[in-house]
Structure 1
Amino acid sequence: MIKKLSIIIVCILFLFIVGCTHSNAANSKEFTPSDTDIVSRLFDDIKNESRLKEFIQNTEAGQKDSIRVVTYTKEGAPILTNITFDGDNLEVSSDSTRDDYGSKEMKKFKCKEILAEGKKYSMISCDGYEVPYHLAEDNK
């Protein structure tokens, strides 16, 4: 009887431990940016910043273009921002589904231009945003 009770208690404890572990399917696979992505991490350089500057020049010249910016939260979760310039507006798709502490949603909106202030890049005049939408910043 005691042996059966011990086995039941061990099984219940095992199920409790397994049930209480945090598992997030979106974060279960490590995200790896592509070689062409603009990557901005806290306390680091902006990777492919020259591509970001080229994209800004193309928008100023009215040339169609697109990029993906990957920023990381302080916890290390990637936020993916795809930006397409259609010749008039910047069409933005922001994906924060991998961020455990964020809104975990995908948003689509339009902006008028990208503002570069030194090594800080933001989009301004965006639908639904009163403040500039932060893109990347060199924090080194």
Structure 2
Amino acid sequence: MGNLKKVLLIGFALLAAGCQSSAEDPGNPDANDDDSSGRDRIFNRHGEIENLDRFERFLSYVDQGQEDAIRIVNYTTEGDPIYQDLTFNGEMIQYVYDSSKDDYGSGEVMELTCTSIEKVEQADFTDYVLAECDSDMNPLILSIGK
């Protein structure tokens, strides 16, 4: 009976260790978000947006000329994250688009500086687009369904 207890104890320990490591599983993109800047994150999972109030607070800070920074994490169909970092210094918005974690995408990292965010009302959703950027691009940063 002593050997059976040891086998069960070892089996239980292995099972517990396996369950604990699943929190850092590559299949869990939230656990692997490598943002070490401490900026607040908004998650967009195919139109289901988590932490939307934080995005609205960022917009308010931009309107007031108050410094702020956020990260928007958009997930692909396969579950890969695409990051959009927005840093407002009181005058300009530094925008970094990072698709390097997208296994099926271009893997590009693009940076722009813009002066404002435009709210564009559509029939079924509201788009937020960066405006007055230092390139010809005006990237869509978030689309919110009504």
Give the structure-1-normalised TM-score.
Answer: 0.68
Identity, in percent, stands at: 32
How many Å apart are 1:137 and its aligned residue?
Answer: 1.8
How many Å apart are 1:116 and its aligned residue?
Answer: 2.4
Q: Using the alignment, how far apart are the partners of 2:135 and 2:60 within structure 1?
A: 25
How many Å apart are 1:29 and its aligned residue?
Answer: 6.3
Q: Deviations over 1:99-127 (max 9, x none)?
A: 12322022221111112235322212222
Report how many residues are paired: 112
Structure-2 residue corresponding to 1:94: 97
Helix, strand or coil: the match of 2:57? helix
Report the residue type matching 1:137 in the other structure.
S
Greater strand content: 2
Q: Which runs of 4+ in 1 moved over 6 A?
A: none
**1:1-140 map, 5 Å:** 30-32=28-30, 36-44=40-48, 46-118=49-121, 119-130=126-137, 132-139=138-145
Report the residue type matching 1:123 in the other structure.
L
CA contact (8 A) 1:113 1:123 kept: yes
Higher relative contact order (CA 8 A, sep 6+): 1
Structure 1 stretches lacking a partner, 5+ long: 1-27
How many Å apart are 1:74 and its aligned residue?
Answer: 3.1
Give the structure-2-normalised TM-score.
Answer: 0.65
Structure 2 stretches lacking a partner, 5+ long: 1-25
How many Å apart are 1:79 and its aligned residue?
Answer: 0.7
**Against the structure 1 CA distance between its residues 129 and 99, is the aligned structure 2 distance closer, same or farther, given a 3 Å change threshold?**
farther
Q: Using the alignment, how far apart are the partners of 1:107 and 1:81 within structure 2?
A: 10
**Against the structure 1 CA distance between its residues 68 and 133, is the aligned structure 2 distance closer, same or farther, given a 3 Å change threshold?**
same
CA contact (8 A) 1:111 1:123 kept: yes
Helix, strand or coil: the match of 1:97? coil
Report the residue type matching 2:140 in the other structure.
H
